[in-house]
């Protein structure tokens, strides 16, 4: 949700910033812009609607020499996508330029006050209010720019990660954060900053994650200085990045999402590694073992998440209730935070977020901790906010997910939730050793089973041709397959723009069955599990109304094969592990349909990967 990049050093500032913007484009692609201060101090600002490619085309022939620069790729919140609303924004006197990720909630009040003082605004953005406020303070109090930034931050309500440069000063870059991510890369005589570490991982592995309420001052030839808003010096805590550059490239695939779908055997192996030990007999999840008293006394578990992560959370409910007999509620983080939640210190809250930065999930984490619950995070992005704000947690270790639609993170989340459920069951003795070992052994087979499912890609590509021109889809499943149906429908919606509804199969007859006709295919997730006979009758109900059916079934299934128009067979799996296997054909189906329709599958319209605003 908006990406920002900054660079100060002797490298090619423009090239580094543009490359960084491409890496952050998954965060938003409504517009892009760059501000450069050249060695003589001139400030050049270039910005344009659309993707970073448009910005590059726009910059041809411009003076792009610089000692310091900042850049931005936008996901529009305040004001439509346009050249004017594109960042960087600048003060009326043209002295300072700012890029911003986040939202300023009190921008209207601040804007009205600045207008009364004679400030003129060009854009509809909240960010322009911020830059004008900083400059107003600087001019009217006579303070330096860093002090003005600190003072402005104290007046702002909302979320921000900002980077600031000033005309006439090619040697200084200022950054600040509150609730939006910002990481600083420390190189040899050069310093980077960005919304995540991907823009600078090839230049340095040393990263400092700025904390809420901190201001960083980066000056040429001086060590990085971090203070709080009261100008008290804060610790510069340097982390070593483990990311590699190959993780950020397509590696021969036409799209990141396809690469990520095909990476799943490997990502699942990474996710399991060290956690399913003794040949599958023991589950070792350190965040559970280290906090075992919290899980032993837990009376209730509340899972909070958004989007795909929420679907993984729904599977987590089935897993934990089945294996641990602890009641589980699954809440959309955006609803949870405003629902007057009732939590006690006997509750455990599990927050799931690929990015670790989703604003609603982060807010839910803070509320839960304030209420005394023990909060366990499940994230992918190492060093992101949710892992830092939770009491304990577990990374899914699937590597950077660049495709905006989540695929490998979903299966990683479901795998970690399975391990979490098993680890709790191991502690509470709600599964026998035999049950645990059987599941442990089956988990070790999952990466190979996923490899087999991926071999179905050519078949799904052919099948996708049959379905590309449908305008509506119904996705149905029961039990563990119900959240898989929801996730399959979401994948189709977001990358192909085809309307799709996910439904519990038995609920269909309470309304959606009215929609069924030849024109609306039903995708039915129907592996052999304890609800199999029930879903067979749901398949018959769709068939009886002339609906076309694509069913995901267990290998060897004859009953549904005789009813459905098309079947996709997946390897047999214990019921609780089936979602990891059945979700993969649905990812491939959505991918191929979207490609057939010529859609931008890695950057679907209106979306951003990391939703750092409400």
Cα–Cα distance for residue pair 335/20, rounded to 1 Å: 34
Query: In terms of DSSP H, where are the helices of 142-231?
Result: 145-155
**2 given a catalytic annotation:** yes
Buried b or exposed e, range 59-75, using 16+ CB within 10 angstroms: beeeebbbbbbbbbbbb
Place of tokens 């799996």: 573
Does the footprint of ligand F6R cover residue 175 (CB under 6 A)? no
Cα–Cα distance for residue pair 552/579, rounded to 1 Å: 11
Does the footprint of ligand F6R cover residue 358 (CB under 6 A)? yes
Judged by CB under 6 A, which of 59, 96, 129, 405 binds ligand F6R? 405
Q: x-or-dash pattern for ligand F6R, window 475-494, by CB under 6 A?
A: ---------------x---x
Q: Which of 496, 308, 355, 306 shows the shortest CA–CA distance to 24? A: 355
Q: Which range touches ligand F6R (CB under 6 A), out of 25-33, 231-239, 284-292, 305-313? A: 305-313
Cα–Cα distance for residue pair 125/74, rounded to 1 Å: 11
Footprint on residues 584-613 left by ligand F6R (CB under 6 A): 610-611
Residue 402: both structure tokens together: 């660049």
Q: Toward ligand F6R, which CB reaches closer, 283 or 486? A: 486
Min. distance of Cβ 362 from ligand F6R in angstroms?
A: 9
Place of tokens 């459905």: 564
Cα–Cα distance for residue pair 360/332, rounded to 1 Å: 9
Cβ atoms of 394 and 378 within 8 Å: the answer is yes
- As to burial, measured by CB atoms within 10 angstroms (0-12 exposed, 13-18 middle, 19+ buried), residue 178 is buried
Cα–Cα distance for residue pair 205/277, rounded to 1 Å: 31
Does the footprint of ligand F6R cover residue 263 (CB under 6 A)? no
Judged by CB under 6 A, which of 21, 59, 306, 492 binds ligand F6R? 306
**Count of residues interacting with ligand F6R (CB under 6 A):** 15
Kindly state the greatest CA–CA separation across the chain: 81
Min. distance of Cβ 491 from ligand F6R in angstroms?
A: 7
Chain centroid to Cα 573, Å, comes to 28
**534 given a catalytic annotation:** no
Among residues 2, 59, 271, 306, the one annotated as catalytic is 2
Place of tokens 């750092």: 612
Does the footprint of ligand F6R cover residue 264 (CB under 6 A)? no
Q: How many residues does the chain have?
A: 614
Min. distance of Cβ 485 from ligand F6R in angstroms?
A: 15
Cβ atoms of 33 and 72 within 8 Å: the answer is yes
Element (H, E) at 476: strand 472-477
Element (H, E) at 4: strand 3-8
Element (H, E) at 439: helix 433-454
Q: Which residue is nearest to ligand F6R (CB)?
A: 307
Does the footprint of ligand F6R cover residue 309 (CB under 6 A)? yes
Does the footprint of ligand F6R cover residue 387 (CB under 6 A)? no
Judged by CB under 6 A, which of 31, 38, 91, 361 binds ligand F6R? 361
Cβ atoms of 325 and 430 within 8 Å: the answer is yes
Q: Which range touches ligand F6R (CB under 6 A), out of 51-59, 125-133, 302-310, 536-544? A: 302-310
Min. distance of Cβ 405 from ligand F6R in angstroms?
A: 4
Which residues on neighbouring strands pair with residue 219, listed in sequence order? 172
Judged by CB under 6 A, which of 77, 264, 267, 308 binds ligand F6R? 308
Query: In terms of DSSP H, where are the helices of 244-306?
Result: 256-262, 264-272, 286-289, 292-297
Cα–Cα distance for residue pair 509/390, rounded to 1 Å: 41
Q: Toward ligand F6R, which CB reaches closer, 172 or 358? A: 358
Chain centroid to Cα 234, Å, comes to 29
Judged by CB under 6 A, which of 178, 406, 541, 554 binds ligand F6R? 406
Q: Which range touches ligand F6R (CB under 6 A), out of 67-75, 99-107, 306-314, 595-603? A: 306-314
Judged by CB under 6 A, which of 48, 355, 411, 522 binds ligand F6R? 355
Min. distance of Cβ 312 from ligand F6R in angstroms?
A: 8
Min. distance of Cβ 493 from ligand F6R in angstroms?
A: 9
Min. distance of Cβ 471 from ligand F6R in angstroms?
A: 21
Min. distance of Cβ 143 from ligand F6R in angstroms?
A: 38
Element (H, E) at 428: helix 408-428
Give the DSSP letter of residue 78. Answer: S
Does the footprint of ligand F6R cover residue 127 (CB under 6 A)? no
Does the footprint of ligand F6R cover residue 502 (CB under 6 A)? no
Q: Which range touches ligand F6R (CB under 6 A), out of 141-149, 289-297, 347-355, 526-534? A: 347-355
- C-alpha distance across the termini of the chain, in Å: 11
Q: Which range touches ligand F6R (CB under 6 A), out of 72-80, 275-283, 349-357, 534-542? A: 349-357
Among residues 51, 167, 599, 609, the one annotated as catalytic is 609
Min. distance of Cβ 64 from ligand F6R in angstroms?
A: 34
Q: Toward ligand F6R, which CB reaches closer, 355 or 411? A: 355
Q: Which range touches ligand F6R (CB under 6 A), out of 2-10, 348-356, 392-400, 595-603? A: 348-356
Q: Which residues bind ligand F6R (CB under 6 A)?
A: 306-309, 353-355, 358, 361, 405-406, 490, 494, 610-611
**Active-site residues: which are they?**
2, 609
């Amino acid at each position: 949700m908006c990406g920002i990049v900054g660079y100060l050093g002797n490298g090619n500032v423009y090239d580094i910033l543009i490359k960084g913007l491409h890496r952050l484009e998954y965060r938003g692609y409504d517009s892009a812009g760059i501000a450069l201060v050249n060695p003589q101090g001139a400030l050049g600002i270039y910005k344009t609607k659309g993707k970073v490619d448009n910005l590059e085309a726009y910059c041809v022939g411009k003076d792009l020499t610089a000692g310091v620069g900042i850049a931005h790729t936008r996901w529009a919140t305040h004001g439509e996508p346009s050249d004017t609303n594109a960042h960087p924004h600048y003060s009326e006197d043209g002295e300072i330029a700012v890029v911003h990720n986040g939202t300023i909630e009190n921008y209207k009040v601040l804007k009205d006050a600045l207008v009364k003082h004679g400030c003129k605004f060009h854009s509809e953005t909240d960010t322009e209010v911020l830059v004008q406020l900083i400059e107003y303070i600087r001019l009217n109090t006579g303070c330096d720019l860093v002090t003005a930034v600190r003072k402005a931050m104290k007046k702002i309500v909302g979320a921000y990660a900002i980077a600031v440069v000033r005309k006439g000063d090619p040697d200084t870059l200022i950054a600040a954060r509150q609730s939006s991510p910002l990481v600083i890369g420390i190189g040899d005589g050069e310093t980077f900053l960005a919304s995540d570490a991907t823009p600078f991982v090839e230049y340095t592995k040393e990263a400092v994650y700025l904390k809420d309420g901190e201001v960083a001052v980066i000056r040429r030839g001086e060590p990085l200085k971090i203070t709080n808003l009261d100008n008290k010096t804060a610790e510069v805590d340097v982390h070593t990045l483990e990311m590699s550059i190959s993780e950020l490239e397509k590696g021969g695939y036409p799209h990141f999402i396809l690469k990520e779908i095909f990476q799943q055997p490997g990502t699942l192996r990474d996710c399991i590694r060290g956690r399913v030990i003794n040949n599958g007999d023991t589950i070792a999840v350190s965040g559970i073992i280290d906090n075992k008293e919290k899980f032993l006394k837990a009376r209730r578990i509340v899972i909070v998440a958004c989007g795909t992560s929420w679907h993984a959370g729904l599977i987590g409910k089935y897993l934990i209730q089945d294996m641990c007999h602890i009641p589980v509620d699954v809440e959309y983080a955006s609803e949870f935070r405003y629902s007057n939640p009732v939590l006690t210190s006997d509750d455990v809250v599990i927050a799931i977020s690929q990015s670790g930065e989703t604003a609603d999930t982060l807010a839910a984490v803070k509320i839960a901790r304030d209420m005394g619950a023990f909060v366990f995070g499940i994230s992918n992005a190492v060093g992101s906010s949710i892992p830092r704000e939770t009491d304990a947690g577990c990374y899914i270790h699937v590597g950077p997910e660049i495709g905006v639609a989540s695929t490998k993170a979903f299966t990683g989340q479901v795998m970690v939730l399975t391990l979490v459920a098993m680890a709790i069951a191991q502690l509470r003795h709600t599964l026998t050793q035999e049950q645990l070992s059987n599941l442990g052994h089956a988990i070790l087979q999952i990466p190979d089973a996923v490899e087999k499912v991926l071999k179905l890609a050519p078949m799904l590509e052919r099948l996708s041709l049959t379905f590309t021109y449908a305008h509506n889809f119904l996705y149905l499943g029961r039990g563990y397959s119900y959240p898989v149906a929801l996730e399959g429908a979401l994948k189709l919606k977001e990358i192909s723009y085809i309307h799709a509804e996910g439904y519990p199969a038995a609920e269909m007859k309470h309304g959606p069955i009215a929609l069924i006709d030849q024109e609306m295919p039903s995708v039915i997730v129907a592996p052999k599990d304890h609800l199999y006979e029930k879903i067979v009758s749901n398949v018959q109900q769709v068939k009886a109304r002339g609906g076309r059916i694509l069913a995901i079934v267990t290998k060897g299934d004859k009953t549904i094969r005789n009813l459905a128009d098309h079947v996709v067979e997946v390897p047999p799996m214990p019921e609780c592990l089936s979602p990891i296997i059945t979700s993969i054909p649905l990812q491939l189906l959505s991918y191929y349909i979207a490609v057939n329709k010529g859609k931008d599958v890695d950057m679907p319209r209106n979306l951003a990967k990391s939703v750092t605003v409400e």
